[in-house]
Structure 1
Amino acid sequence: MSRLIRHRSLTKSIKARTTAKYKRKLKKKIIPGYGKKGAGVIKDPKRSMHNAIYSRTTIDSRDLGKSKNKSKSNDSDEKMGCGCATALIFFGAIVGGFIGVTFF
């Protein structure tokens, strides 16, 4: 693809946010498959495949400043680790004591 960054339309995004809830409910009752996942593949497979590839190979301009790590944990939790290194040292000292090897 020639472009790596998607530039979204501000007017289309505002229109999508302000579409009324009742309007969507009415369309769901009238049009079969409206709002269902995978309906685009049945309706227009070529367009659906293009959109899937385009969304995976490009970056959204609004997400450039956001981090990809979505976990909300404290910094202290990240620094502690899982304790694997401590367990290995502890068990190594015990096994070394049984064998008779002195570390110090």
Structure 2
Amino acid sequence: MMGDGRGSWGPGMMGDGMMGNWWLPGTGDRVQSLDQARQRAKAFSDRLGLRVGEVMQFSRNFYAELQTSDGHGATEVLVNPADGAVQIEYGPAMM
């Protein structure tokens, strides 16, 4: 549902209607470093009034923790390395 298996994510549930705030389209530029992933996560977190905490790299994506202004955990996001799209990580966001 989140992609076509080639590393790109389409809008699907995340880009339209009520869920539009939980997805940031990619820029088309590859994300290859933690700093680039942090910049993309910041572009997303700024829309929600949050800040970026720890950023990690995994084999298929980058993962960033988002925090409130006082440093409490708010949610987590995934950053697609193929195009820089950012989406809320469903599991932690549902807790």
* TM-score (norm. length: structure 2): 0.19
- Between 1 and 2, higher relative CO (CA 8 Å, sep ≥ 6) is seen in 1
Question: Larger strand proportion, structure 1 or 2?
Answer: 2
* TM-score (norm. length: structure 1): 0.18
Question: Larger helix proportion, structure 1 or 2?
Answer: 1
